[in-house]
Structure 1
Amino acid sequence: MTRVVCVTPNPAVDVTYRVPVVEPGASHRVADVLERPGGKGVNVARVLQALGVPADVVAPLGGPGGHWLAGALAEGGLAVRAVPVAAATRRTVTVVDDSGAATAFNEPGRPLSAAEWASVVAAVTEEVRGADALVVSGSLPAGAPDDLLPRLISAARAAGVPAVADTSGPALLSAAGAGPALLKPNAEELAAAVPGLEPADAARRLLALGAGHVVVSQGADGLLGLTGDGAAWRVAAVPGVGGNPTGAGDATVAALVRGLVTGAPWPDVLADAAALGAAAVLEAAAGEVDLAAYARFLPTLNTERLA
């Protein structure tokens, strides 16, 4: 059975507040509160689980929030490899109003020691043995080693497992150099890492560094996907979809890694990723997808080759 290992270097307890309207400087009566395990790798794992793909979560967890997060994931049916750390796990708060607009407040992750990061790498090295794919997703807390992603990707490659990374900043470039099967930046992250180039050319720069595939989330412009030979493909976004975009990228990653594992044709993988990302926008919390909407969206999407 397929098994994907999902690493979240910067996990969080995600808190979502729903209010009628957000007014700066005003007090708000919260209509509904939702607490969920968070972090991009956690979200990817939950979407994979919804798709029937077993996923294991590896994350550094500490303090009461970390204890709660590990228990909540296990109660939700996900296998958890918690790496104990001294720092308390952070919280994030997203405020969603009745229009569907989402305003996020993301605490920074607390720094970990070199020994704690070594424990994370050791845990991932063990978990990827016998797995079918590795996903490393999300930001890095302050002070994380510059070579953290290359070490994780190299562990996967040594085990013969394809690695997918969704990150930003210098980590995106260092991840590319380690030879991942796929990188998934959004347009802003790609422009910041490889400035001054059109998206397709910037993505080809990541391919030249060592990435096998690059998929760029472009919001209303859909997905741009490049293969190792530099061929560029695009699938348009599903029109008229509004809601909470927080977990759309994570759902996209889940579809991409599933496509890599199953060996689906590249145009089909991109269309599947676009449909699943749109279905995630309809849900109030990241890590959830509207599977009925996903089934409706998928037949409407076509992937075109650009070059």
Structure 2
Amino acid sequence: MRGLQLPLSQTQKVRLQKALERLESLSSKVNSDASVTIADSISVNYEDGVLKGHGTAELNGEVVATVCGVVERVNKLVYVRALRSRYKPEVGDIVVGRVIEVAQKRWRLDINFNQDAVLMLSSMNLPDGIQRRRTALDELNMRSVFEENDVVCAEVRGFQHDGLQLQARSQKYGKLKRGQLLRVAPYLVKRQKQHFHHLEQYGVDLILGCNGFVWVGEHIEAKDDMIEEQADQSDSQVSRPGKNAVSLEEQEQNCTALETRKYICRTANAIRVLSTLGFSITLEIIKETVNLSLTVNLDINEMLGSEFCVLVAEREAERRSSNKKKR
């Protein structure tokens, strides 16, 4: 939040400063023992043969922190987990990426990591839904599945000799359409049990990628590929006036409703505001931010203004204070 730069009036600066100070006081009381800054000493028991890990150093016989973060202990290992750091992939992470290259039997994706991720042709379900060996014909038709600039959701499989490996062997993974891709700092998205969310009241799907890529798009019901294929075959048998003729129903299905598009933009702007303020991006906070914009009757473009950022900071301070009182 130190790098926060908004065109604030004097009144807004005072309100924002009070809200941030309140948030800082609440967080410092909770994590006073675990949080450290640079040069803070870390209490350890040298009799246990402590091991100094990342973010620590020995100075004048004491273990001190070299980065700002939270002290973590694993058996005899003591290290500091930096609060602000680059994305570090772990097996099982849900990530959202953009295809940058279609190579031999693989796609290369940008996932906000220091190297490109690799999605092998053999590590994903084909459109026909049948589990079988990949053939040369499948390799020739790779661009019909994903092509450059497509947004893809996948799971981290592990590290191999050719880089970070992804897999998309489930219906919840695959190509993402009809939405917006947002890029936030990876440390703002915490690892949780569920990263796929459906906002029923808005008709919006939300995917919080562990790599800092967030997808906000129209809700799409999961369908069986075999049923879709049979339906397409039955439709093709029905005579049509022309090959290039497209019915009005098909055009409506390919277009996102105006109301849904508004909610997609409103949700995306809520995430942008939270990212600007440096707040953790969770489903609960996103919903509260969207509801706040609706309560004060703000237009979508006005959500990126200074006044709404101050309102969000004040509301977050109130929420954390009330949660602490409930405990």
What TM bracket, shorter-length normalisation? under 0.3
Question: Which of these two proteins has the greater Rg computed from alpha carbons?
Answer: 2
Structure-1-length-normalised TM-score:
0.26
Give the structure with the higher percent strand.
2
Give the structure with the higher percent helix.
1
